[in-house]
């Protein structure tokens, strides 16, 4: 897919577009040391259509990668008149 940006989408963005990033991690400690580390982040889709095929494509890609995720919110952005889908993900 074209129009995929890390952390921010500056300038003229062709719709639809995706912004993603890593914004945290979770540590599992055992025996006074870190046993596991899981990264956490987000995927934001900005689109004009509630039936955009990218919605299903993003879900399929996360499933195929065996990444834990959930749909955090769907909002209408008044400034841009776009639908904003936000998924949260976490993987070890």
For the residues of 4-50, what is the DSSP string, one character each? EEES---S--PSSEEEEEEEEEEEEEETTEEEEEEEEEEEEEEES-T
Question: Model-level pTM?
Answer: 0.84
Nearest to 15 by CA among 1, 35, 29, 27: 1
30 pLDDT exceeds 90? no
pLDDT surpasses 70 at 35: no
Strand-by-strand arrangement of the 82-91 sheet: 4-6, 17-30, 33-47, 82-91, 68-77
Compute the distance between CA of residue 4 and CA of residue 16 in angstroms, rounded to an integer.
9
Q: Per-residue confidence at 25, pLDDT binned at 50, 70, 90?
A: low
Task: Give the tens place of pLDDT for each residue, 50-88.
Answer: 999 999 999 999 999 999 999 999 999 999 999 999 999
């Amino acid at each position: 897919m074209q129009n995929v940006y890390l952390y921010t989408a500056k300038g003229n963005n062709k719709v639809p577009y995706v912004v993603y990033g890593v914004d945290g991690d979770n540590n599992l400690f055992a025996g006074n040391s870190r046993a596991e580390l899981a990264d956490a982040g987000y995927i934001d889709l900005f689109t004009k259509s509630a039936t955009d095929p990218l919605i299903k494509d993003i879900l399929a890609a996360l499933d195929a990668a065996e990444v834990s995720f959930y749909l955090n919110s769907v909002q209408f952005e008044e400034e841009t008149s776009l639908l904003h889908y936000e998924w949260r993900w976490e993987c070890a």
